[in-house]
């Protein structure tokens, strides 16, 4: 079953600035392109930081404040220092949180939540900027039509992954909610089918009405313990 990755939804026409880009240049880019952040790159187009609207607003917040210079400067700049910044190097947030082109949508969403960011620069294996993915981009997967989802479920999940006959399971999709009806031979197979369908990109929820002839959960558990004899002893 095909997994959607960041490469499927990211914006490739990404605007980046060099480390010496001026404050005014960055503000103009943000306003002109209607974006909330700009990656900062070195001459090899490796991502070294990100300047966000929040970074730019510090200059407004601290306008007219008395300048204070640190005797022993650190890599991470304080909000006040960013408010005094004149170029991207002095304004940007580092270290930058990035995603790879093969990062799954689930992993990208979790990373955004954990790090508290709204977008991720997308880089190649050597760190070169190739795109940017935002929260809105991750939601694009839910723009897929019900017919697209139904075809994916029937062909990719039920037929190619689980090797089920086409008419064994009836699949209906309404606004991304999948309803499944059918009778399978084993409980573990029915549960696996529901789990795989729920993981299809764009599925909102699964209304599972699958039934089964044999409850093989105890059998599956005993087989697992026979193949892992030391799992319960901690050996």
* CATH code of residue 84: 3.10.580.10
Query: How many domains are there within the chain?
Result: 2
Classify residue 229: in a domain, yes or no. Answer: no
Same domain as 152, residue 92: no
Same domain as 169, residue 117: no
Average pLDDT rounded to a whole number, residues 153-174: 95
Classify residue 96: in a domain, yes or no. Answer: yes
Average pLDDT rounded to a whole number, residues 169-176: 97
Instruction: List, for residues 192-223, the tens digit of each pLDDT value.
Output: 999 999 999 999 999 999 999 999 987 765 56
pLDDT at 159: 95
Q: What is the DSSP letter of 34?
A: T
Classify residue 22: in a domain, yes or no. Answer: yes
Average pLDDT rounded to a whole number, residues 52-70: 72
Report cis status (omega within 30 of 0) of the bond before 95. Answer: yes
pLDDT at 141: 92
Same domain as 131, residue 157: no
Percentage above 70 pLDDT, the chain: 86
Same domain as 188, residue 119: no
125 φ, ψ (degrees, to nearest 5): -60, -30
Classify residue 225: in a domain, yes or no. Answer: no
Q: What is the rounded distance in angstroms from the CA atom of residue 5 to the CA atom of residue 133?
A: 11
Provide CB contacts within 8 A for 3, sequence distance 6+. 104, 201
Residue 78 structure tokens: 């304080």
Same domain as 134, residue 148: no
Same domain as 166, residue 136: no
Q: Are 25 and 41 in contact (CB under 8 A)?
A: no
Q: What share of the chain is helix, strand, coil (3-state, %, to 5)?
A: 40, 25, 35
Same domain as 148, residue 136: no
Same domain as 133, residue 24: yes
Average pLDDT rounded to a whole number, residues 4-23: 94
pLDDT above 90 for 233: no
25 φ, ψ (degrees, to nearest 5): -60, -45
Same domain as 162, residue 55: no
Same domain as 134, residue 66: yes
Torsion sign (Cα): 144, 145, 146, 147: negative
pLDDT at 163: 96
Q: What is the rounded distance in angstroms from the CA atom of residue 31 to the CA atom of residue 26?
A: 9
Same domain as 152, residue 96: no
Pairing of strands 177-186, 205-214: parallel
Same domain as 75, residue 189: no
Percentage above 90 pLDDT, the chain: 74
pLDDT at 10: 95
pLDDT above 80 for 58: yes
pLDDT at 90: 92
- Domain range holding 85? 6-140
Q: CATH no. for residue 157?
A: 3.30.1340.30
7 φ, ψ (degrees, to nearest 5): -60, -25
Highest mean pLDDT among 42-51, 53-62, 65-74, 216-225: 42-51
Classify residue 65: in a domain, yes or no. Answer: yes
Classify residue 17: in a domain, yes or no. Answer: yes
Classify residue 227: in a domain, yes or no. Answer: no
């Amino acid at each position: 079953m095909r997994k959607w990755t960041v490469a499927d939804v990211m914006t490739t026409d990404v605007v980046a600035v060099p480390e010496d880009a001026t404050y005014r240049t960055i503000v103009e880019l943000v306003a002109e392109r209607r974006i909330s952040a700009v990656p900062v790159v070195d001459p090899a187009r490796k991502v070294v930081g990100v300047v966000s609207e929040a970074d730019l607003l510090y200059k407004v917040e601290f306008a007219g404040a008395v300048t204070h210079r640190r005797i022993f400067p650190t890599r991470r700049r304080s909000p006040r220092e960013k408010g005094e910044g004149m170029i991207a190097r002095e304004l940007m947030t580092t270290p930058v949180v990035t995603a790879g082109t093969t990062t799954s949508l689930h992993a990208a969403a979790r990373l955004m939540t954990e790090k508290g960011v709204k977008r991720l620069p997308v880089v190649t294996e050597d760190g070169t900027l190739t795109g940017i993915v935002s929260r809105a981009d991750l939601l694009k997967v839910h723009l897929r039509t019900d017919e697209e989802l139904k075809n994916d479920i029937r062909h990719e999940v039920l037929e190619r992954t689980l090797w089920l006959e086409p008419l064994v399971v009836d699949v209906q999709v309404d606004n991304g909610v999948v309803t499944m009806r059918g009778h399978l031979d084993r409980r573990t197979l029915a549960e696996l089918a529901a789990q795989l369908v729920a993981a299809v990109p764009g599925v909102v929820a699964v209304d599972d009405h699958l039934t089964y002839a044999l409850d093989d959960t105890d059998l599956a558990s005993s087989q697992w313990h026979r193949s892992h004899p030391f799992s319960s002893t901690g050996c």
